[in-house]
Structure 1
Amino acid sequence: MKWFRYWKRFEHVKETNMQKSINDIMNHEYLMTNGLGGYSFGTLDQVNCRKYHGLYTVSYNPPIERMHLISKIAEAVVIEGATYPVTFENATDGSVPLNDATETHLKSYRHEGIIEQVFELSEIGVIIKRTLAMAYGTNHLAVRYQMETTRPVELVMTPLFNFRDHHDVVSVNLEDYHVRYDDPLQYLHVASKGKEVYLKWESATGLTPNYKPNHTVSAFSYYPIETQRGYPDIERHADLGAFHFSIDKGLSEVDLLINLSPTFESASSVFRGRQDRYEALIAKAGAKYAPYSFKRLIQAADDFIVYRKTTGKMTIIAGYPWFSDWGRDTMISIPGLTLETGRHEEALQMIEGFLSMAYMGIIPNNFPDEGEAPMYNTSDATLWLFNALYMYYEQTKDLKSIERLYPKLMEIINHHIQGTINEIYMDVDGLLSSGNEETQLTWMDVKVGGWVVTPRHGKAVEINALWYNAVAVMNEFSKRLNIPPEALERDFEILMKQIKQSFNDVFWNEKEHNLYDLIIDGKAVDIPRPNMIFAVSLPFAVLDERRWLPVVEYVMRNFKVPYGLLTLRREDEAFHERYEGDLLSRDGAYHRGTAWGWLIGPYLEAHYKTFGDTSYIRSSIDALMVHLDEGVHGSIAEIFEGGAPHAWRGCSAQAWSVAEAIRLYKMTF
């Protein structure tokens, strides 16, 4: 078995157990993206367990309006009339218990630029190596099958189509699907609902497909993850025919090429392009000799950085599979995903792109996936932009860009001082107030119908830490640009002193030696949350330095878990140990106990500023790296349950979680 022996020599191969439960299978996913919002996403075992799993999902208005087009290729080996599936589907009604052991054929998995999997059907002496990649910046996808068999077999490939919004679950109507097969050119054209896709076969070993048309619906596909999330969980796909390859014993190879038009890039070209990109990203990040876990994070970072058509600039997808690009998430993620990976030009593009769409001094919070107008329901995204731009300047010393953007930044500061949308305004004490009982403007932003789950209107602790930081950044930029104090519209140093004095007077809880999370109508809300950590962690810390130690220690005792920070103390009566159930149940737990991965960054930054202990940061990073082998392999999830063992939940790949891990790596290694 030549290919299998070669595969076994690879480093960093994930060996898998051939007996697995559905729970095991759906906890291990792969993600391949194309820089446009499109993706190929599934379990390592090629068993679709959620509606977002699919071989080929593309964006028609990058990076949004994403359409799931091909669910999977059902591969099977036929010997002497007997069929042996390479992968399988779940029971149609979910009747197989999720913890029952199931035989799978995945032997090994690796993702370094391209995805490589080995499936072993030991009972019939067949090994299949499957290589997959999406071309960066286009909608080309290539899958290569390399097969070794001890006797003649037939390899059968059945594409399953379902042209739908990637958020939906739809059982197909066959009347909507139109098929044409070009036998000389060996490509299949499928059209439905104004969309189309092309599939083409090529073979370096002379294999030619025998296309056997069909026009039926597939068996039901059951998605247990959607059951858990309270969404529709069963659908059927269009089976429009299968491709049969007659294979003699020995080695054989066949490539499947997929695109939105009948122009195809060879599989070798797609694979070479992705491998070259992987190596270039590692080199740009200065990570050639870095630990393998850090290289995996560099690769994961690239998944989130995508092109936005409406601005003509790069942006950041907040999380896969369901988020689009968010202003808050983008600004928080810029330092880790771009600056610490050597991608400074893209960082500036992102900042400029969001600045260009600012309204009344507020950048967009969210671009809906349906292509609607941006939403501006945020009090912190714009303040995070100042932080990202300051970090950009610190690394590049690009004063020309700062000078060009300075008037826009000044306009934003003035809007905040004078008052702007969302009831955001600077109060007489210099602190920012925002929103009302019906709004959700901070990062703890869940609102279900009329229920604001985590009310944080008024003066929120991290908003005012960010406000002080933004004013301090403007003060620094003014100095670097040599703007004389008398020429400034604002005396930033006086404003900074006012904000800092008021903050320390108002937010400090002398009894508990921590910070109040919120001030509403002059009254402190005594519900401790991890947001106090930002008063220490930001480049310009608003909290008096003598108070850093008790705040950091309080956060460590009450909120720190291996993968992030809890959003409530365990003893709080509203604390939720589990993040489970339908949307209402999950939203009730989202910021009420659930731990967030990205908060590990500001926490460890504050810890380092306070104690100067790099060994603690490194041990914390090592603990976090265990998570790289669950969920989307090589990435970091959005959230983790508040109760042990802190299982990952939410998006299985989240931009700011990965960004903060990268930033911490570069801080200490």
Structure 2
Amino acid sequence: MRLLYGKQDFRDGVRGQESCWLLTNGLGGFSSQNLIGGASRNDHAVLMACTVPPNQRWNLIHRLEEVLTVQGCNVHLSSQRFADAPEEEGWKHLSCVEVDGLPRWRYQTQGVQVEKVLALDWEQNTLVVRYEVENESGSACALTVTPWLQFVPKGRDLDPGQPFVFRDHAVESAGLRMRLFTNGRVEPLAIRFQTLQYDYDVCDGRRAQGLTAANHRIRFTLSDGGRRKLEIVYSLEENVPSASSILRGAQRRLRRLEKQSGLYHPAARQLAVSADAFIVQRQSTGAKTILAGYPFFEDWGRDTMIALPGCTLTTGRFEDARSILETFLEHERGGLMPNLFPEGGHEPLYNTVDAALLFVNCVWLYVQRTEDWEFVRRAWPVMKRIVESYRHGTDYGIHMDSDGLIAAGQDLDQVTWMDVRIGEILPTPRHGKPVEINAYWYNALRILEHLAPRMEESGEEYAALAEQVRESFAREFWMEEKGALRDLVSGGPEDVQIRCNQIWAVSMPFSMLSAEQEKQVVHTVLRELYTPVGLRTLSPCDPSFHPTYGGEQEQRDLAYHQGTVWPFPLGAFYLSYLKVNNYTLRAVKQVREWLDALIPALREGCAGQLPEIYDGENPTASRGCFAQAWSVGELLRVYEALERPQAWETGEKVRKDR
């Protein structure tokens, strides 16, 4: 999808920082800056390398300073705010930014045109930047590119005493050696430092400034009337392809991803490309994993299981789906799946009640697409162990009550996706029986009931338990007077809050509700929680509703699930809306119209991506991670449902057919 940004989008330096671009390398490394070419976050980097995939990341090149010399005058093409120096205002000379897989910038000043394109080599820590300069200024011109370096682990600060050495066309620092290849003239420099201003960290209560260092620059001259390319490649690798080869390969790969998805809508094809950013290698497991979001998050079990169906199954990446599921098979413990994978020899963390139940769902969806029964046979013992562990009790207070419903949570543990904890405070306490967990539980029981005959076992026990769960769920969760489901059964005042979690009781392949109840839930969610870019986590009518998200960490956490808008539940909502309206032409038309709001959302925040969250009251600007896996994955499922509705009709339809 070709996204264009013009002068109207960066009419000043503040507006120019509102959006960013993102490239990834399949290892966990990435390249991301704001659209006008500067670092407005500590986590921005032109080259964020990953030495041990996917989480040991190093901010190597924090930004590029670009200066065009024309008729004796120096003009910045780069843009950057500083703590102690005048602002670089390259945005004044920026004509257009185009993001169509790769980002491209076009500058024009004093008769000189410069086009810049940037790419990462796939599964390599290699960056290529190419400038094409056309000079009609009447005299020779020069372009000088200075990389400002950090060579620190992602999120750390540069110590001014850290040594940097430039020799043999390579930068050496912190035990790393980054090689340089260019057709420009390389000039070593005495070490210099700059302190950057991070406007987009300041508003979130993070660090305001960061130090960078420079010890070399690259100069490129061009006579009047000339047109030439300056190519720059930086890499941690030993074998480095040419700049042209990397650029061609990157663009071809992105086009292949669009085609592989089999989707037609431009936004759907863009999301198929966007999904690729999250699917990366994990060295400790030797398999694929899904990063939850950029620039902050790592790979988490819950996020992976929610993002996997859209990011891999919808896009036709079945081998990646199996690789990810295989990893979870190997790491199941006590019926639980990892919420956070091991790093540096540490054991996985299992503090999640939903990941294991969603794993069962992912296996079900996977086999519907692939008919890979050999994998299901391998997964079957683990799936049964999950159900047995939940029935008889496992860690974190997870157990089945006498009514067949699942209860979870103890002490200060938060084991659902609304998992914020501030010291001794749980802003969204959900100890008890959460609504979505019991929807997942029923779904898992029905899946095992259906799969058991294929595994040459009886599914009657699962069917009987599922029926008990269905009856108990209707009795305990349904609020007739509100036409909605309780968010929780715990005996506390939070139980009756109107939250988005109830939508998964409608959208899962197997649902416990009557057709009329499902319609009422969808209507309640539409009336109280729906926005064009996501569902609110809490009704605005609730006294605990927080209209905005921002400020210091504690302030952000208090708002995180108290009304803040999340895009990913939109997937369940739209699928539920289509379901309760029987996929009529009118319903399909309505969802298509609602999805139109995502087109401008793909331009705001991170070009081509969907974010983590928005403000609860007026969701206009993205917050949190600027690119979030489950946001992309869940909306991909909706686009697929509109184009291939049979793809997700694998739950209640199966039972009725039987």
Q: TM-score, normalised by structure 1?
A: 0.91
Instruction: Find the counterpart in structure 1 of residue 174 from structure 2.
Output: 193
Matched position secondary structure for 2:132: strand
- Superposed, which structure 2 residues align to 1:629-644 within 5 Å? 629-644=603-618
- Give the Cα–Cα distance (whole angstroms) in 1 for the partners of residues 451 and 574 of structure 2: 27
Check conservation: 1:158, 1:243, Cα contact below 8 A: yes
Change (3 A) 1:627 1:388: same
- Give the Cα–Cα distance (whole angstroms) in 2 for the partners of residues 575 and 21 of structure 1: 34
Check conservation: 1:18, 1:104, Cα contact below 8 A: no
Check conservation: 1:366, 1:375, Cα contact below 8 A: yes
Matched position secondary structure for 2:505: helix
1:143 aligned onto 2:134: no
Check conservation: 1:219, 1:236, Cα contact below 8 A: yes
Instruction: Find the counterpart in structure 2 of residue 86 from structure 1.
Output: 77
Check conservation: 2:2, 2:100, Cα contact below 8 A: no
- Give the Cα–Cα distance (whole angstroms) in 2 for the partners of residues 472 and 402 of structure 1: 15
- Correspondence for 2:33 among 42, 45, 70: 42
558-567 vs 545-554, greater mean Cα deviation: 545-554
- Correspondence for 2:543 among 557, 573, 598: 573
Change (3 A) 1:533 1:95: farther
State the 1:479 CA deviation: 2.6
Change (3 A) 1:384 1:25: same
Matched position secondary structure for 2:396: helix
- Superposed, which structure 2 residues align to 1:241-280 within 5 Å? 241-249=216-224, 250-280=226-256
Check conservation: 2:10, 2:36, Cα contact below 8 A: no
Change (3 A) 1:38 1:12: closer
Instruction: Find the counterpart in structure 2 of residue 29 from structure 1.
Output: 20
Matched position secondary structure for 1:540: coil
Check conservation: 1:426, 1:432, Cα contact below 8 A: yes
One-letter code of the match for 1:160?
W
Change (3 A) 1:268 1:357: same
Instruction: Find the counterpart in structure 2 of residue 235 from structure 1.
Output: 210
Percent identity of paired positions between Structure 1 and Structure 2: 34
Instruction: Find the counterpart in structure 1 of residue 654 from structure 2.
Output: none
- Give the Cα–Cα distance (whole angstroms) in 1 for the partners of residues 166 and 3 of structure 2: 42
Check conservation: 1:331, 1:388, Cα contact below 8 A: yes
Matched position secondary structure for 1:310: coil
Matched position secondary structure for 1:24: helix
Change (3 A) 1:402 1:18: closer
Matched position secondary structure for 1:629: coil
State the 1:47 CA deviation: 1.7
Matched position secondary structure for 1:365: coil
Instruction: Find the counterpart in structure 2 of residue 5 from structure 1.
Output: none
- Give the Cα–Cα distance (whole angstroms) in 2 for the partners of residues 434 and 661 of structure 1: 29
Check conservation: 1:567, 1:595, Cα contact below 8 A: yes
- Correspondence for 2:394 among 420, 424, 438: 420
Check conservation: 1:324, 1:368, Cα contact below 8 A: no
- Give the Cα–Cα distance (whole angstroms) in 1 for the partners of residues 636 and 71 of structure 2: 53
Check conservation: 1:18, 1:107, Cα contact below 8 A: no
Check conservation: 1:528, 1:569, Cα contact below 8 A: yes
- Give the Cα–Cα distance (whole angstroms) in 2 for the partners of residues 87 and 382 of structure 1: 47
Instruction: Find the counterpart in structure 2 of residue 160 from structure 1.
Output: 148
- Correspondence for 2:370 among 375, 396, 399: 396
Q: What do the CA deviations read for 1:8-62 (whole angstroms, capped 9, x no partner)?
A: xx96543343852333122110000000000000111102111111100011210
- Superposed, which structure 2 residues align to 1:356-371 within 5 Å? 356-367=330-341
Check conservation: 1:87, 1:104, Cα contact below 8 A: no
- Give the Cα–Cα distance (whole angstroms) in 1 for the partners of residues 590 and 2 of structure 2: 29
1:663 aligned onto 2:649: no
Check conservation: 1:71, 1:160, Cα contact below 8 A: yes
Check conservation: 2:357, 2:386, Cα contact below 8 A: no
Q: What do the CA deviations read for 1:495-554 (whole angstroms, capped 9, x no partner)?
A: 110110111111111222211111116998222211111111100012233311111111
Change (3 A) 1:69 1:616: same
One-letter code of the match for 2:239?
T
Check conservation: 1:174, 1:217, Cα contact below 8 A: no
Q: What do the CA deviations read for 1:106-157 (whole angstroms, capped 9, x no partner)?
A: 2222233332221222xx2111111111111111211111101113112111
Change (3 A) 1:451 1:368: farther
Change (3 A) 1:259 1:397: same
Change (3 A) 1:404 1:355: closer
- Correspondence for 1:76 among 59, 67, 81: 67
Change (3 A) 1:307 1:19: closer
One-letter code of the match for 2:11?
K
Check conservation: 1:390, 1:473, Cα contact below 8 A: yes
- Superposed, which structure 2 residues align to 1:491-506 within 5 Å? 491-506=461-476
551-560 vs 639-648, greater mean Cα deviation: 639-648
- Give the Cα–Cα distance (whole angstroms) in 1 for the partners of residues 391 and 257 of structure 2: 41
- Superposed, which structure 2 residues align to 1:531-570 within 5 Å? 531-570=501-540
Q: What do the CA deviations read for 1:343-378 (whole angstroms, capped 9, x no partner)?
A: 111111111112211211111112377774322111
One-letter code of the match for 1:199?
L
Change (3 A) 1:318 1:175: closer
CA RMSD of aligned residues (A): 2.1
Unmatched runs of 5 consecutive residues or more in structure 1 = 1-9, 183-187, 203-207
- Correspondence for 2:449 among 475, 481, 484: 475
Change (3 A) 1:160 1:556: same
One-letter code of the match for 2:429?
P
Change (3 A) 1:140 1:320: same
Matched position secondary structure for 1:47: coil
- Give the Cα–Cα distance (whole angstroms) in 1 for the partners of residues 46 and 223 of structure 2: 28
One-letter code of the match for 1:130?
K
State the 1:295 CA deviation: 2.0
Instruction: Find the counterpart in structure 2 of residue 107 from structure 1.
Output: 95
Check conservation: 1:66, 1:369, Cα contact below 8 A: no
Check conservation: 1:258, 1:264, Cα contact below 8 A: no
58-67 vs 586-595, greater mean Cα deviation: 58-67
74-83 vs 387-396, greater mean Cα deviation: 74-83
Number of residue pairs matched by the alignment? 636
Change (3 A) 1:420 1:504: same
State the 1:94 CA deviation: 9.8
State the 1:174 CA deviation: 4.7
- Correspondence for 1:609 among 567, 574, 579: 579
Matched position secondary structure for 2:62: strand
Q: What do the CA deviations read for 1:596-654 (whole angstroms, capped 9, x no partner)?
A: 00010111111111113111211111112220011111110110111124321110000
- Runs of 4+ with deviation above 4 angstroms: 93-96, 100-103, 368-372, 521-524
- Give the Cα–Cα distance (whole angstroms) in 1 for the partners of residues 296 and 344 of structure 2: 12
85-94 vs 406-415, greater mean Cα deviation: 85-94
Unmatched runs of 5 consecutive residues or more in structure 2 = 644-658
Matched position secondary structure for 1:631: coil
1:217 aligned onto 2:192: yes
- Give the Cα–Cα distance (whole angstroms) in 2 for the partners of residues 294 and 523 of structure 1: 41
- Give the Cα–Cα distance (whole angstroms) in 2 for the partners of residues 93 and 565 of structure 1: 42
State the 1:193 CA deviation: 1.6
Matched position secondary structure for 1:535: helix
- Give the Cα–Cα distance (whole angstroms) in 2 for the partners of residues 601 and 329 of structure 1: 14
- Give the Cα–Cα distance (whole angstroms) in 1 for the partners of residues 286 and 442 of structure 2: 32
Instruction: Find the counterpart in structure 2 of residue 118 from structure 1.
Output: 106
